[in-house]
Amino acid sequence: MTLLILAGLFFLTAVAYSAVGFGGGSTYNALLILSEMDYRLIPAIALSCNILVVGGGLYHYLRGGFLTINSLLPFIVLSVPMAWLGGRLPVSEQVFIGLLGFSLLVAGTQMLIKPQVTGMHKSLGKTGYWFTAV
């Protein structure tokens, strides 16, 4: 896969996922695996692209008053060190690709069989955000 095609697919992924409030990290991972990128570089590239796309959405949600810093703080405080710790774990290429493939398969299956919740969502409250983040 040429770099130009990969860049185009990354752009389409970013547009599609950002339109529904997501970052596209799993698709970036899959595209990089298919392009035979060095597996040790994949997490950093996918995370960088994901942060860029999610950051744009986060800006718009904060500006529109749909989110507050207090509701985001538990997720930020807990996710940053956990992502760093996870990134420090040495894994082989086979384990990395196997875990990635398995997690994408499970996520896709869940989307197909899990019923969608409709109606208004109940607010979590201050302690609920911390509990959910953990």
What are the tens digits of pLDDT across the range 12-62? 999 998 888 788 888 999 999 999 999 889 888 988 999 899 988 888 888
pLDDT band at residue 102, thresholds of 50, 70 and 90? very high
Dist CA 39 CA 93 (whole Å): 6
Q: What does each C-alpha distance from 129 to 67, 121, 124 come to in angstroms?
A: 12, 14, 6
pLDDT band at residue 129, thresholds of 50, 70 and 90? low
Residue burial 88-118, b: 16+ Cβ < 10 Å; e: rest: eeeeeeeebeeebeeeeeeeeeeeeeeeeee
Tell me: the pLDDT tens digits for 58-89? Answer: 888 889 998 888 888 888 888 888 888 887 88
Dist CA 20 CA 17 (whole Å): 6
pTM of this prediction?
A: 0.67
Residue 124: what pLDDT? 58
Tell me: the pLDDT tens digits for 104-114? Answer: 898 888 878 86
Domain boundaries, the chain: 3-133
